[in-house]
Amino acid sequence: MPSQRALGVAVVGTGKMGTDHVRRLQHVVSGARVTAVVDIEAERAKTLADAMDGCTAYTEPAAAMAAQDVDAVLIASPGPAHEAALLEAIGYDLPVLCEKPLTPDAASALRVLEAEQKLGHRRIQVGFMRRYDAEYINLKRLLDKAELGRALMLHHRHRNLAMPPSFTEEMLINDSVVHEMDVTRWLLDQEITAVTVYKPAPSAHAPAGMNDPQFVLLETESRALVDVEIFGHCGYGYQVHAEAVCERGTVRIGDEHGPRVSADGRWGGRITPDYVERFEDAYDRQVQAWVDATRRGEVIGPSVWDGYAAAAVCEAGVMSQREGRRVEVELIEQPAFYQ
């Protein structure tokens, strides 16, 4: 139901992303406050909670969701923990913003999808924040107008300064290219039907046992071709670019627009170090939109269907990565509930 008071939010997971969302909810977003933080590391949760008035620390998501001052849940825990937290939130009929991935695989995503349908109304928004980035929004508008004709190809580049030691080769697909998979579906308004992963010679900076960079080819329902360069250890900064090649022109986003300085015989500018800074405005827009919609009694943004579809494409991508072949994406028929 619509609410005039501040939304009490439980943040599940207090790692890098969760802590940033706590800051965002407390100091950037209007209409919400953090009333609970949840983490299996009790001391970390307590330290964060103690810094905020009226905030309680928990080690179990269910305990936080049962609290009277919790109206909604933001899930930022590791992907394998998402399913249990999502099903718990559905049980309490609480609105949720869940960081990607919805769940780590298509089977668990389907279980969440079925549970939400049984509830009878949408409660979950998936955190594909690129849909809230100003440049991607403008690209989407241009493609929807079709003034340049149909989009025939998309070129994506996704480069990271470096990945943490725990990052695996599969995560290049599941944690990185998943963004391009979702934004491709959104930009073109169609499903991805097949994935092929190619592996050039690995960089000297790639961790032992990891082929990095990789080149991912996506095929869509309209036979558009989409390529993604994923480079997990480029060594110089964080860059995300996209270019749409249409029948009557091209559109490119992601070029750096900061100050370009010429001095001492050199010219150049700054490259952002990581995704938190590059997409800070998109995260702010996303969370504010979620809070506003929740207070109106609505659910907007990427749905559980979008989370499931991305998980299915990731599964095909990881299989191609392992087996070195083209793999078709297996999707159930989209339920009317999500159309």
CA separation for the pair 322, 111 (Å, rounded) = 26
Tell me, yes or no, whether 274 and 155 share the same domain. yes
> How high is the pLDDT of residue 261?
75
Angle between helices 106-119 and 82-91 (to 10 degrees): 10
Coil/strand/helix, residue 46: helix
Task: Please indicate, yes or no, if residue 232 is contained in any of the structural domains.
Answer: yes
Task: Please indicate, yes or no, if residue 185 is contained in any of the structural domains.
Answer: yes
CA separation for the pair 239, 325 (Å, rounded) = 28
Respond yes or no on whether the N-terminal peptide bond of residue 164 is cis (omega within 30° of 0): no
Instruction: State how many domains the chain has.
Output: 2
Tell me, yes or no, whether 178 and 287 share the same domain. no
Task: List the chain residues with pLDDT less than 70.
Answer: 1-3, 258
Tell me, yes or no, whether 124 and 146 share the same domain. no
> How high is the pLDDT of residue 3?
58
Task: Please indicate, yes or no, if residue 165 is contained in any of the structural domains.
Answer: yes
Angle, CA 270 vertex, CA 265 and CA 275 arms, to 5°? 160
> How high is the pLDDT of residue 272?
87
> How high is the pLDDT of residue 262?
73
Tell me, yes or no, whether 274 and 286 share the same domain. no
Tell me, yes or no, whether 149 and 184 share the same domain. yes
Element (H, E) at 292: helix 280-296
Tell me, yes or no, whether 215 and 291 share the same domain. no
Residue 211, domain CATH? 3.30.360.10
Q: Which domain holds residue 229?
A: 133-278+311-338
Tell me, yes or no, whether 109 and 162 share the same domain. no
Tell me, yes or no, whether 213 and 326 share the same domain. yes
Q: Which residue has the tokens 């800074």?
A: 277
Tell me, yes or no, whether 264 and 167 share the same domain. yes
